[in-house]
């Protein structure tokens, strides 16, 4: 197993909250922090491949501006001057927005996503474009048309996906924290594979304005980092209502990073869904969950068995709903308004065919075709409408479970990181990597992955916790007991 060497600069081992404390004390400047991360990227990203692009001069001048503000006593927040890596599906004005697709290889974002605006308002520096599966479709980042990302813990293995670059950048100490997006597990699964923390917020908690749409009823942006506290602090900056996203929740969010260490007034009741511990679960991942159960029990939690009877339908339902929404969302890439335009075309139809044929990779095409099929007039009732009904049943399973427990604990993934290339020729095997994560998206629930006990071979494992809608604070408090 070959991992990348650990960094030598001590700044790179600090969590974002520790960096914020060091900046306040004057232990180092924002320029020194950003130079440290840029040097690390220079040293290791040739092997890791987390970044598709990084603009060094932009980052350093933003860092200098942050240092200037801090000297003047006008820091925008405790995190002013700290860089945050951005998955290449979130708009940062003037930077590439490729979704790791040939279709958008030359596209530059004309405006900031709401999350980008919020990060800037707090002085954070959106730093670099992180690799991903094309249009966030995949579980290994191998569907990127623009580059290969390796798992920093074992370079022969996949970093997970679709936010593989976001997870790898944190694991490789190339960024203190990053943003990912999660439609069926794309934050939590790569977090588990790379040994970092990743949170998918409740649907509607974080604005999707400026997030390139894959499946709009499932997509959420969320934070990835080295600690639960960092992820909570980053969520504080991201969350809240947004008039530009009609699905954003109107209530102001609580302060997620506050009182995370506070003991509960009565013991937490944690449910173990029996469907998540059956066939296909790797024994080393199972051992990590067993250890987590022991850790929670030792801290006073009650562990109870629960059932989510419709679990086995989550993957088929997801691949009907997500592809249906994707086929509609990706119709906009027609060679006329956005992105790649084929040369040498005879008429408008030829332009659509050739532009889409050349611009999209095989997995995207597969999903657009599948989505168009399940929405077509002859099959809509049999597939799309039926999938929506089952989605309601999946959601109800959670409502029932949460009537008796505060949170659920499952593995994040059935196996640790798999070798690069192992599943690329078998889409169905790849889809199974999300078997435990997808239901949270279908139900709109918040869910987090925190690192579990590594396997005897030293590979990371992930523990997933799920909570009722809007209960991210509870989720973070319980996650902290494990991290």
> Could you say whether residue 162 binds ligand GLN (CB under 6 A)?
yes
Q: Which of 276, 83, 249, 286 is nearest to 170 (CA)?
A: 83
- Closer to ligand GLN at the Cβ: 29 or 413? 413
Q: Which stretch binds ligand GLN (CB under 6 A): 11-19, 52-60, 65-73, 135-143?
A: 135-143
Site size for ligand GLN (CB under 6 A): 13
- Closer to ligand GLN at the Cβ: 138 or 361? 138
Residue carrying the six token digits 């007991």: 481
Encode 115-130: b = buried (16+ Cβ within 10 Å), e = exposed.
bbbbbbebbbbbbbbb
Letters for 431-450 (x = contact with ligand GLN by CB under 6 A, - = none) are ---x----------------
What is the crossing angle of helices 30-48 and 16-25, to 10°?
Answer: 150
39: which DSSP letter? H
Letters for 196-235 (x = contact with ligand GLN by CB under 6 A, - = none) are ------------------x---------------------
Phi first, then psi, for residue 225 (nearest 5°) are: -165, -175
Q: Which stretch binds ligand GLN (CB under 6 A): 43-51, 181-189, 221-229, 267-275?
A: 181-189
**Is residue 186 among the annotated active site residues?**
yes
Q: Check 15, 29, 181, 186 and give the catalytic one.
A: 186
- Closer to ligand GLN at the Cβ: 323 or 355? 323
Distance from C-alpha of 233 to C-alpha of 177, rounded to nearest angstrom: 11
**Is residue 389 among the annotated active site residues?**
no
**CB count in 10 Å sphere of residue 32:** 16
Q: Which stretch binds ligand GLN (CB under 6 A): 50-58, 178-186, 204-212, 406-414?
A: 178-186
- Contacts of ligand GLN in 275-334 (CB under 6 A): 322
Distance from C-alpha of 162 to C-alpha of 139, rounded to nearest angstrom: 5
Judged by CB under 6 A, the residue of 16, 44, 130, 136 near ligand GLN is 136
Q: Is the dihedral of CA 358, 107, 30, 449 positive or negative?
A: negative
Judged by CB under 6 A, the residue of 29, 186, 355, 461 near ligand GLN is 186
The residue of the chain with the least Cβ separation from ligand GLN equals 186
Contact 170, 449 (CB under 8 A): no
Phi first, then psi, for residue 154 (nearest 5°) are: -150, 105
**Is residue 162 among the annotated active site residues?**
yes
Q: Which stretch binds ligand GLN (CB under 6 A): 76-84, 183-191, 327-335, 390-398?
A: 183-191
Distance from C-alpha of 93 to C-alpha of 111, rounded to nearest angstrom: 4
Residue carrying the six token digits 């191998």: 142
> Could you say whether residue 139 binds ligand GLN (CB under 6 A)?
yes
Distance from C-alpha of 100 to C-alpha of 226, rounded to nearest angstrom: 25
Active site residues: 87, 162, 186
Residue ranges that bind ligand GLN, judged by CB under 6 A: 136-139, 162, 182-186, 214, 322, 434
């Amino acid at each position: 197993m070959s991992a990348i060497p650990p960094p030598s600069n001590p700044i790179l081992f600090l969590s974002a909250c520790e960096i914020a404390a060091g900046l306040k004390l004057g232990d180092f400047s924002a320029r020194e922090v950003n130079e440290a991360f840029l040097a690390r990227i220079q040293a290791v990203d040739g092997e890791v491949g987390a970044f598709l692009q990084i603009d060094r001069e932009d980052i350093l001048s933003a860092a200098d501006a942050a240092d200037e503000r801090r000297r003047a006593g006008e820091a925008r927040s405790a995190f002013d001057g700290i860089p945050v890596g951005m998955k290449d599906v979130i708009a940062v004005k003037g930077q590439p927005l490729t979704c790791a697709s040939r279709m958008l290889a030359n596209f530059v974002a004309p405006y900031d996503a709401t999350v980008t605006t919020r990060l800037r308002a707090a002085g954070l520096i959106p730093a670099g474009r992180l690799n991903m599966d094309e249009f966030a479709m995949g579980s290994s980042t191998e569907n990127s048309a623009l580059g290969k990302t390796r798992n920093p813990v074992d370079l022969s293995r996949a970093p997970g996906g679709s936010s593989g670059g976001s997870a790898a950048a944190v694991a490789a100490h190339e960024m203190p924290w990053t943003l990912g997006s999660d439609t069926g597990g794309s934050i939590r699964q790569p977090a588990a594979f790379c040994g970092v923390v990743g949170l998918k917020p409740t649907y509607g908690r974080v604005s999707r304005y400026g997030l390139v749409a894959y499946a709009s009823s499932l997509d959420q942006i969320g934070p990835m980092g080295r600690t639960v506290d960092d992820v909570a602090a980053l969520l504080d900056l991201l969350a809240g209502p947004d008039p530009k996203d009609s699905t954003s929740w109107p209530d102001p969010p609580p302060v997620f990073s506050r009182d995370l260490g506070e003991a509960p007034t009565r013991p937490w009741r944690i449910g173990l869904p029996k469907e998540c511990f059956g066939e296909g679960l790797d024994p080393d991942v199972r051992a990590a969950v067993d250890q987590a159960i022991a850790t929670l029990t030792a801290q006073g939690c009650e562990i109870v068995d629960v059932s989510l009877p419709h679990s086995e339908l989550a993957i088929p339902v997801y691949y009907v709903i997500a592809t249906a929404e994707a086929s509609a969302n990706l119709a906009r890439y027609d060679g006329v308004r956005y992105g790649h335009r084929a040369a040498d075309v005879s008429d408008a139809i030829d332009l659509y065919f050739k532009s889409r044929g050349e611009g999209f990779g095989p997995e995207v095409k597969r999903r657009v075709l599948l989505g168009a099929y399940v929405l077509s007039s002859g099959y809509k009732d049999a597939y799309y409408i039926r999938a929506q009904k089952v989605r309601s049943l999946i959601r109800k399973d959670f409502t029932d479970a949460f009537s008796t427990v505060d949170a659920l604990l499952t593995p994040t993934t059935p196996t640790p990181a798999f070798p690069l290339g192992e599943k690329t020729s078998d889409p169905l095997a790849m889809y199974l990597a999300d078997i435990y994560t997808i239901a949270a998206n279908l139900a709109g629930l918040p869910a987090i992955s925190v690192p579990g006990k590594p396997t005897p071979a030293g590979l990371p494992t992930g523990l997933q916790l799920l909570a009722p809608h809007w209960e991210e604070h509870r989720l973070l408090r319980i996650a902290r007991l494990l991290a």
